[in-house]
Amino acid sequence: MGLKQRHILFMALGGSVGAGLFLGSGGAIRQAGSSVLAAYVLCGLIVFLIGRAAAELALSDPAGRTLNAFVGRYLGPRMEFLTGWSYWLIWTLVCISEITAAGIFVRYWVPGVPQWAVAAVLGGVLLAVGSRAVATFGEMEFWLAIVKIWAIVALILCGLVTIIGHVGPAGPAASFAHIWAPGVILPHGAAGFAAILPMALFAFGGTEVVALAAAETDNAVRVLPRAVNGIVGRIVVFYVGSLAVIMAIVPWGQADATHSPFVLAFQHMGLPAAAAGINAVMALAALSSCNTGLYATSRTLASLAESGMASARLRDRAANGVPALAFGASFLTVLAGVVLNYFLPDRLFGYAIQGVSFLLIFVWVTIMAAHLSYRRGAVAGAGGRRVAALPWAPASNGVAIAFLLGIGVDIVLGGHLYVPFVLDVAWLGGLLLAQGWLAARPVPGATV
């Protein structure tokens, strides 16, 4: 145990508020204009449903540990194997992308520092924290997330002073009217809006991680529903509120994918020191996301080992409750990211993010399908009393699944990400072959 409500809340915030907001939102504004606000609200509602479904599954059995274990219970061992290893790979790629982003941010001050060296230093910090008791991890994530939240709050407050009080260089020209000005709402039509929906959706990735922490949370029945309910609302406020202020200050045509819109906003407000400070916040945001990622990968790997779907040694836990070998194995992926930063410093971030997209859709769809199966059993009396029931189920399950599948089609056809799609399909196909091989050669105690 040891994780409290504030740890759970900020752990999910730490996984969700990262480079996608501080850096990637510039490209979203450029592509969709002010309709980007509606995109984040819509995707926030969908992820809220996914988070509530994951929390209900986690609370349906206090002995359960991870999402893949519940998927196995309601959809079978094959799906547990696919989901567990895919979720592990998702967070592995997220960790690699985040330490890469951190290296880019740090070079703002020290251009001569190699990107791989920054990644190596951050990896050492993560190793020191993640190998300690879970409460230490929770405290670190809490304070890292606090820094990010205060940076967003500072932007919103300074922006409001600039807009309402006409303070600073941008004051006379700043206005919320820019948000609904002609040509800004849908500058590239419906196609532009559809193009940024995947970006908006994946920005909320990490919300479901609260279900992973159920077994290590004090009073999970009370904490998890409150945390999920608060997470999405806060994320929507932070995303929508900050981007609305940015678009009121920064002319729409100046936003792009190569610059942080937060930096541009502070520069327009005549606060260059704050603009420089945002780079420090973005580096900490990347560290926070990677911290959450190592928690997710190590717990998922330990759960797979407990089900006989990975080496049995990975399930062993240290005296402080941390699955030490599973954490160590997951940390090796961070070291792999350090090496890749040496060989692919300019392309690694994009490759890692693209690799996450289809696998995350797969895992989210699987969560909603598992919850639907669980709910049918609960309604029939086989599942016992439902705790923190998903609102509007089963209709909400269908809506979320349809939306996620639509996003997948949008990515392939609209985004032309054929290579990542084929690679992710190949990954799932390889897992099916591995699962079949393990099922044919059972290990004592395995449940494959």
Residues 6+ apart with CB under 8 A from 205: 15, 16, 47, 90, 94, 356, 360
Q: Could you list the pLDDT tens digit for every one of the 448 residues in the chain?
A: 456 667 666 666 655 666 667 777 888 888 899 999 999 889 888 988 998 898 888 887 756 567 788 888 899 999 999 999 999 999 888 888 888 877 777 777 777 788 788 788 877 887 777 666 666 767 777 787 788 888 888 999 999 999 998 888 887 888 999 998 888 898 989 888 988 888 888 877 777 777 666 666 666 677 677 777 776 677 777 888 999 999 999 888 887 776 788 888 998 898 888 877 887 887 787 777 787 788 888 888 988 988 889 888 888 887 777 788 888 888 888 788 888 877 877 777 777 777 888 999 999 999 999 999 998 876 655 444 566 688 889 999 999 999 999 999 988 887 777 888 899 999 999 999 998 887 776 555 444 4
Q: Over the stretch 362-371, which tens digit does the pLDDT of each residue have?
A: 999 999 999 9
- 147 within domain boundaries: yes
Q: In whole angstroms, what is the distance from residue 87 CA to residue 85 CA?
A: 5
- 150 within domain boundaries: yes
Q: Which of 226, 202, 220, 201 is nearest to 52 (CA)?
A: 226
Angle between helices 5-16 and 272-306 (to 10 degrees): 110
- 446 within domain boundaries: no
- 357 within domain boundaries: yes
**String of b and e for 1-40 (b: at least 16 CB within 10 Å)?**
ebbbbbbbbbbbbbbbbbbbbbbbbbbbbbbbbbbbbbbb
- 445 within domain boundaries: no
Q: In whole angstroms, what is the distance from residue 296 CA to residue 191 CA?
A: 35
SS (H, E, C) 362-427: HHHHHHHHHHHHHHHHHHCCCCCCCCCCCCCCCHHHHHHHHHHHHHHHHHHHHHCCHHHHHHHHHH
CATH number of domain containing 284: 1.20.1740.10
- 246 within domain boundaries: yes
Structural domain boundaries enclosing 51: 5-440
- 365 within domain boundaries: yes
- 447 within domain boundaries: no
Residue 211 DSSP symbol = G
* Distances 337 to 95, 101, 330, 331, 351 between C-alpha atoms, Å: 8, 11, 11, 10, 12
Bridge-partner residues for 3, per DSSP? 217
Number of domains observed in the structure of the chain: 1
